[in-house]
A and B are shown apart, each in its own frame.
Chain A
Amino acid sequence: MKITLTVNGAAATVQVEPRTHLADLLRGELLLTGTHLGCEHGVCGACTVEVDGAPARSCLMHAGACDGASVCTIEGFGEDAVMAALREGFSAEHALQCGYCTPGMLVVARDIVLRLPDADEARVREELAGNLCRCTGYRGIVRAILGVLAARRGAAT
Chain B
Amino acid sequence: MTAPEGGGDAARDALSRSPRGVGAPLRRKEDARFLHGRGRYVGDIRPAGTLEVAFLRSPVAHARLLGVQKPANGLVFTAADLTEIAPIRANSALPGFRPSDQPALASGKLRHVGEPIAACVAASRAEAEDLAAACVLDYQALPAIADMLAARAPGSALIHEHWPDNAFLETRRDEDLADLDAIAAAKVRRRLRTARQSMAPLEGRGVLAEWDPRLEQLIVTTAAQMPHVTKTGLAECLGLDEGQVRVVAPDVGGGFGYKGILLPEELVCAALAMRLGRPVRWLEDRLEQLTANANCREHFYDVTAWADAKGKLLGVAVDATVDAGAYSAYPFSACLEAAQIGSIFPGPYVLPRFRFHTVSACTNKPPILPYRGVARTGVCYAMETTLDALARQLGISAQAIRAANLVPPTAMPYRNLVGKVFDSGDYPEALRRAVAAVDVAAVRARQAAGETVGFGLSVFCEQGAHGTSVYHGWGIPFVPGFEQAQARFTPDGVLELRVGLHSHGQGLETTLAQVAHEILGVDPARVRLVHGDTALTPYSTGTWGSRAMVMAGGAVAEACRLLGERALAIGAALLQAPVEGCSLRAGAIHHGEAQVTLDQVARTWFRSPQNLPANVDRGGLDVTAGYRPDPDTGTHSYAAHAVVARVDTETGNVTLEQYVIVEDGGVLVNPMIVDGQVLGGAAQGIGTALYEEMPFDTEAQPLAGTLADYLLPGATEVPDIRIEHMETPSPWTRFGQKGIGESGAIGPPGAIVNAINDALAPLGAEVLDLPATPARVLAALARAGRA
User: Which A residues are closer than 8 A to B by beta carbons?
Assistant: 17, 19, 27-28, 32-41, 43-44, 46, 73-75, 87, 90-92, 94, 96-103, 106, 121, 124-126, 128-142
- Kindly identify which residue among A128, A129, A132, A141 contacts B707, using a CB–CB cutoff of 8 Å: A132
Given that A96-B34, A136-B676 are known contacts, is A40 also in contact with B286, CB under 8 Å in the complex?
yes
Q: Which of A102, A106, A129 has the most CB of B within 10 A?
A: A102
Q: Which residues of B contact A28 (CB under 8 A)?
A: 46
In the assembled complex, the CB of B201 is this many whole angstroms from the nearest CB of chain A, namely 5
| A91 closest partner in B (C-beta) | B31
| Residue contact A134 to B254, C-beta cutoff 8 Å | yes
Given that A74-B37, A100-B39 are known contacts, is A132 also in contact with B286, CB under 8 Å in the complex?
no
Q: Which residues of B contact A41 (CB under 8 A)?
A: 286, 706-708
| Residue contact A142 to B27, C-beta cutoff 8 Å | no
- Kindly identify which residue among B35, B43, B256 contacts A96, using a CB–CB cutoff of 8 Å: B35
Not counting A36-B253, A99-B505, A139-B721, a sample of 7 additional A-B residue pairs whose C-beta atoms are within 8 angstroms of each other reads A36-B202, A74-B36, A91-B35, A100-B41, A132-B712, A135-B676, A138-B714
22 contacts between A and B (CB under 8 A): A33-B37, A33-B40, A36-B41, A38-B202, A38-B204, A39-B706, A40-B286, A43-B707, A43-B708, A44-B286, A46-B202, A73-B37, A91-B32, A94-B28, A98-B203, A98-B251, A100-B201, A102-B35, A130-B714, A134-B256, A136-B683, A137-B679
Q: Which residues of A contact B201 (CB under 8 A)?
A: 98, 100, 134
| Residue contact A34 to B36, C-beta cutoff 8 Å | yes
Q: Which residues of B contact A32 (CB under 8 A)?
A: 37
| Residue contact A137 to B202, C-beta cutoff 8 Å | no
| Residue contact A36 to B203, C-beta cutoff 8 Å | yes
Please, how many angstroms separate the alpha-carbon atoms of A92 and B32 in the complex? Answer: 11
- In the complex, whether B275 has a CB less than 8 A from a CB of chain A is no
- In the complex, whether B507 has a CB less than 8 A from a CB of chain A is yes
- In the complex, whether B418 has a CB less than 8 A from a CB of chain A is no
User: Binary interface profile of B, 687-709, with partner A (CB < 8 Å = 1, else 0)?
Assistant: 00000000000000000001110
In the assembled complex, the CB of A130 is this many whole angstroms from the nearest CB of chain B, namely 8
Please, how many angstroms separate the alpha-carbon atoms of A34 and B744 in the complex? Answer: 29
Please, how many angstroms separate the alpha-carbon atoms of A113 and B696 in the complex? Answer: 42
- In the complex, whether B252 has a CB less than 8 A from a CB of chain A is yes
Docked complex: B1-59 residues within 8 A CB-CB of A: 27-28, 30-41, 43-44, 46
Q: Which of A44, A102, A138, A140 has the most CB of B within 10 A?
A: A138
Please, how many angstroms separate the alpha-carbon atoms of A34 and B285 in the complex? Answer: 18
Summarize B's interface: helix, strand, loop or mixed.
Answer: loop
| Residue contact A142 to B715, C-beta cutoff 8 Å | yes
Q: Which residues of A contact B706 (CB under 8 A)?
A: 39, 41, 43
Q: Which residues of A contact B37 (CB under 8 A)?
A: 32-35, 73-75, 103
Please, how many angstroms separate the alpha-carbon atoms of A136 and B718 in the complex? Answer: 10
Q: Which residues of A contact B737 (CB under 8 A)?
A: none
| Residue contact B36 to A135, C-beta cutoff 8 Å | no
| Residue contact A138 to B253, C-beta cutoff 8 Å | no
Given that A99-B30, A137-B683 are known contacts, is A125 also in contact with B40, CB under 8 Å in the complex?
no
- In the complex, whether B200 has a CB less than 8 A from a CB of chain A is yes
Given that A73-B37, A87-B35, A91-B31 are known contacts, is A100 also in contact with B203, CB under 8 Å in the complex?
yes
| Residue contact B126 to A98, C-beta cutoff 8 Å | no
Q: Which residues of A contact B44 (CB under 8 A)?
A: 27, 33
Q: Which residues of B contact A38 (CB under 8 A)?
A: 202-204, 286
User: Binary interface profile of B, 675-687, with partner A (CB < 8 Å = 1, else 0)?
Assistant: 1100111111000
User: Which B residues are closer than 8 A to A by beta carbons?
Assistant: 27-28, 30-41, 43-44, 46, 126, 200-204, 251-254, 256, 285-286, 504-507, 672-673, 675-676, 679-684, 706-708, 712, 714-716, 718, 720-721, 744
Given that A91-B27, A94-B28, A99-B34 are known contacts, is A138 also in contact with B718, CB under 8 Å in the complex?
yes
| Residue contact B34 to A136, C-beta cutoff 8 Å | no
| Residue contact A98 to B286, C-beta cutoff 8 Å | no
Q: Which residues of A contact B714 (CB under 8 A)?
A: 128-132, 138
Please, how many angstroms separate the alpha-carbon atoms of A124 and B714 in the complex? Answer: 12
| Residue contact A44 to B720, C-beta cutoff 8 Å | no
| Residue contact B707 to A98, C-beta cutoff 8 Å | no
- Kindly identify which residue among A39, A73, A100, A139 contacts B679, using a CB–CB cutoff of 8 Å: A139
In the assembled complex, the CB of A9 is this many whole angstroms from the nearest CB of chain B, namely 15
| Residue contact A90 to B285, C-beta cutoff 8 Å | no
Q: Which residues of A contact B682 (CB under 8 A)?
A: 137
| Residue contact B721 to A137, C-beta cutoff 8 Å | yes
| Residue contact B203 to A94, C-beta cutoff 8 Å | no
Q: Which residues of B contact A46 (CB under 8 A)?
A: 202
The 10 closest A-B pairs by CB, nearest first: A34-B37, A99-B34, A100-B253, A98-B505, A74-B37, A97-B505, A137-B679, A137-B683, A33-B44, A128-B715
- Kindly identify which residue among A40, A129, A134 contacts B684, using a CB–CB cutoff of 8 Å: A134
Please, how many angstroms separate the alpha-carbon atoms of A40 and B43 in the complex? Answer: 14
Please, how many angstroms separate the alpha-carbon atoms of A141 and B715 in the complex? Answer: 9
| Residue contact A99 to B253, C-beta cutoff 8 Å | yes
Please, how many angstroms separate the alpha-carbon atoms of A133 and B714 in the complex? Answer: 7
| Residue contact A133 to B202, C-beta cutoff 8 Å | yes
- Kindly identify which residue among B33, B200, B285, B720 contacts A139, using a CB–CB cutoff of 8 Å: B720
Q: Which of B30, B202, B507 has the most CB of A within 10 A?
A: B202
Please, how many angstroms separate the alpha-carbon atoms of A26 and B673 in the complex? Answer: 32
Q: Which residues of B contact A124 (CB under 8 A)?
A: 715
- Kindly identify which residue among B35, B36, B679, B707 contacts A44, using a CB–CB cutoff of 8 Å: B707
| A140 closest partner in B (C-beta) | B676
Please, how many angstroms separate the alpha-carbon atoms of A101 and B291 in the complex? Answer: 22
| Residue contact A121 to B203, C-beta cutoff 8 Å | no
In the assembled complex, the CB of B259 is this many whole angstroms from the nearest CB of chain A, namely 11
| Residue contact A97 to B507, C-beta cutoff 8 Å | yes
Q: Which residues of A contact B254 (CB under 8 A)?
A: 97-98, 100, 134-135
Given that A37-B43, A97-B506, A134-B254 are known contacts, is A121 also in contact with B200, CB under 8 Å in the complex?
no
| Residue contact B286 to A39, C-beta cutoff 8 Å | yes
Q: Which of A32, A33, A90, A121 has the most CB of B within 10 A?
A: A33
